[in-house]
Amino acid sequence: MKAFTCLSLAALLSSIAVTSVLAAADSAAVRRSVSLRDDWMYLTRDVAEPAEWTHDGKRFHYRKTVEGGFAFVEIDARTLKRRAPFDPGKLATALNEVTQQSYQPLRLPFETFEYTDENRAINVTVEGQRWTCGIVNYACNKAEPKDRTRPRAFGVVRDLDVPADNSPRTSPDGKWEAFVEDDNVVVRRVGSKEVIALSTDGTPGEFYDPETLAWSPDSSRLVAYRVRPGFRRIVTRIEAAPLRQLQPTVRTQLYPKPGDPVDIEQPVLFHVLERRRLDIDNALFPNLYELSAPQWRRDGRTFAFDYQRRGHGQARVIEVDGQTGAAKAVITEDARTFVFADRRYRHDVGDDAREIVWISERDGWRHLYLADAASGEMKQITRGAWIVRDVLKVDDAKRRIWFSASGMDEGKDPYFKHVFRVDFDGANLTRLTTADATHEVRFAPDMSLYVDTYSRVDMPPVSELRRADGSLVATLERGDISRLTAAGWRPPEPFVAKGRDGVTDIWGLVVRPRDYDPARKYPVIENIYAGPHDSFVPKSFWPFGFHSGGDKVIGMQAQADLGFIVVQIDGMGTANRSKAFHDVAWKNLADSGFPDRILWHKALASRDPSYDIGHVGIYGASAGGQSALNALLFYPHFYRAAVAYAGCYDNRMDKISWNEQWLGWPVDASYAAASGVEHAARLQGRLLLIVGEQDSNVDPASTMQVVDALIKADKDFELLVVPGGEHSVGRSTGPIHYVQRRQFEFFMRALQSVPAANGNSGPT
């Protein structure tokens, strides 16, 4: 018996020793992976970012990769002569003095800049702070804010703790000043102290907002909004470990949530000399979610504003007669599901705005229309099974529009952006970009030239200067990735499979380990973001900047190198395809495109024997965090493990703007249907929740309510709370290596059965 015990003990000790060695080796591999971005960051050359033109259109500049980092290049558009727009060494020194950091000349902490002070200074943004830096004397000072207006939480509730900008608004003829006094609109003659009250009904509970004051062009009339404030919901957070302070700190934030009352704005028209006021009948804009600022037509006959109905089922352009106050709906956009507020577009044509360029999805695709303001007739300018992405320029005199679009080329990636121009009547549709890639185009102010920067995930950027007709002036940059390739980089692989309807193409990317062996089996990890506000699978080359999706792909490669195949997919419910494709998300956020994603996985597995579809994990942040958790709640037969960052797990807990856009108003059962709190008891598989304690985007209480529900349901899970961490914890800011390491090690344990590493033993 003793011999057996000794043999068993020896075997156990041997097993522990082997496990310890394996864990140490895996720990070293993880640390190499989390440093991959740092290792690869500066291996490319001449990888250029989109250009920016000077206001006079004579020059343009851009940032590109060079030996040791990044450099800014400025080019004379006529002569093509190059120069550095500033001395990077002197600018780094100036920034270091005011920020107390140690920035290097080739690693300046900004990607774009704009000239100011007659080109003697530039404005830059560093860590959220704007600075004005002289490029003659090289001194930096905090920049004057672009906007002095009172903040509005998520655009719909004014922060009444911040004073409004009540500086007098001078009439166009220079004779009058208008402002708000004791919550009412008053005017006075310039140079006089005597005020004339135009309203008397303003109170703190229904006040006139000075920031909405708008004079008519002839100075005889004035518009202002009377405001009934919405609900002042405050989210309170405790910062447990403040920097350079022992005791915790309380942080508060104005944070309206779905269903909360929003500011109600009532347009009021004043005839100044007659001291007459007219409340504009709100029958055409009842139950409002948001009104844009009033805008007088240049002929002064009318003013107009945009209206978004609560619940996002209707948008309108309202025009008001400047004499009588009579309102009419010039354009009405109705939707069975939602009108996409962030993608609305309106351009008033000419001084009198008798025509309006408008974007609508009324035929099932996002297209340009020309509306007749008098009759309301809508003439379609563009049409087809493709979408307009952005309007770049409208020329009223030439009656011509420049725009980007995607999905026009059958059989090619429907997300690639190309640039076109078209006449108001739909004639002369002309393509200005031809390369099979996604294009970012920047036009000179006079539209005579443009810089086209195009790339794919497998092709570094090419930057070209072209004339208005599309002809080539010069190739400016051609990215060199030879050193990156020599270091082991391989491009992600696009893969396409049919979605749930058996017809629609679903596009995704595949990232394999750099030592990929097709004879092996690899567990699969999906990087998910299914927010309906955009599409998310990278389409351009990844120059390792936070803005470009590069870190997302690097993170996928770093994870793959630990023995996984990592993928990303745009399922139904995301944007930039047809309206029907997008509408899948409506009141259905639990869906997250999972029926399409699972079919995509299966299609790839059927072609690739190394794709271990029996061991699939998933991770995501924010809305992607909600989706990652929901994968284990609603699709546990397919997904085995999830890492969920900063998720909006119950949409009733999250910001009003994003959630009412996709789930509507009033708050109904669709909110609970997607809730990770309500369905926590359904959890299967292994789960790691990660949240930043100071998340100002998604209320961190959303995570803790999931934690509470999981505990009550007696479920096992892991939780990482990062003190002081913001919404982007583990991605672009904060202790990125630590959080990333925890994710990597979690998946190794959950999907590869690798023993847990001990990060306390130090790097190997």
DSSP state of 253: E
Q: What is the pLDDT of residue 358?
A: 98
- In the chain, pLDDT over 70 holds for what percent of residues? 94
Report residue 201 as tokens: 């009904």
For 177, list phi and psi in degrees, rounded to 5.
-125, 135
What gap in Å lies between CA 661 and CA 340, rounded to an integer?
A: 7
Confidence label for 5 from pLDDT (cuts 50, 70 and 90): very low
pLDDT tens digits, one per residue of 636-669 = 999 999 999 999 999 999 999 999 999 999 999 9
Confidence label for 429 from pLDDT (cuts 50, 70 and 90): very high
> Would the pTM of this model clear 0.85, i.e. be above it?
yes
DSSP state of 322: T
Q: What is the pLDDT of residue 759?
A: 66
Q: Which domains, and CATH codes, for the chain?
A: 148-333 (2.140.10.30), 493-761 (3.40.50.1820)
Rounded average pLDDT over 704-714: 98
pLDDT tens digits, one per residue of 193-215 = 999 999 999 999 999 999 999 99
Lowest mean pLDDT across 140-144, 163-167, 388-392, 474-478: 140-144
pLDDT tens digits, one per residue of 314-329 = 999 999 999 999 999 9
**476 neighbors 465 (Cβ within 8 angstroms):** yes
Contacts 24+ apart (CB under 8 A), 230-235: 230/156, 230/157, 230/158, 230/256, 230/260, 230/261, 230/262, 230/263, 230/264, 231/157, 231/256, 231/260, 231/261, 231/262, 232/157, 232/160, 233/157, 233/257, 233/260, 235/699, 235/701
DSSP state of 415: T
Question: 433-451 as b/e, with b when 16 or more CB fall inside 10 Å?
Answer: beeebbbbbbbbeebebbb
Residue 286 burial by CB count (10 A; 0-12/13-18/19+): exposed, middle or buried?
A: exposed
Q: Tell me the one-letter amino acid at 78.
A: R
Report residue 259 as tokens: 């269903």
What is the per-residue DSSP string for 35-75? THHHHHTT--BS-BPPPEE-TTSSEEEEEEEETTEEEEEEE
What gap in Å lies between CA 235 and CA 79, rounded to an integer?
A: 56
**Which run of H or of E encompasses 307?**
strand 302-309
Rounded average pLDDT over 733-741: 72
Report residue 171 as tokens: 């009439």
Q: What is the pLDDT of residue 12?
A: 47
C-alpha dihedral sign at 66, 72, 73, 77: positive
What gap in Å lies between CA 24 and CA 757, rounded to an integer?
A: 7
Q: What is the pLDDT of residue 764?
A: 43
Could you tell me which residues come within 8 angstroms of residue 618 by beta carbon, excluding any fewer than 6 positions away? 525, 526, 527, 528, 627, 628, 631, 639, 641, 642, 643
